[in-house]
Amino acid sequence: MGLLGAINYRIEEGPLEGMNIFLAADKGREKRDGSALGDRLNYWDVKMSIQYDFMLR
């Protein structure tokens, strides 16, 4: 079972115009035999990226 959600936002005006922000979250579950913490691993995998393109003159 997994759950995935994502948000993407692009700034349209102001000094940071053109900046892209992306955030994704995924909830996962794995079975890991023999772990000291138990056989089931529940976790959130979160990724974020910020991109801003500019020109050097």
Sorted by where each begins, the domain ranges of the chain are 3-51
What is the per-residue pLDDT across 25-40, written as a single tens digit (0 to 9) for each? Answer: 999 888 888 777 788 8
What pLDDT, on the 0 to 100 scale, is given for residue 50?
98
pTM of the model: 0.68
pLDDT-flagged residues of the chain (< 70): 1-2
In angstroms, the CA 43 to CA 37 distance is: 13
Cα dist from 3 to 23, 32, 42, 46, whole Å:
14, 20, 12, 12
What pLDDT, on the 0 to 100 scale, is given for residue 54?
80
What pLDDT, on the 0 to 100 scale, is given for residue 1?
57
Cα dist from 34 to 25, 29, 52, whole Å:
27, 16, 45
What pLDDT, on the 0 to 100 scale, is given for residue 7?
96
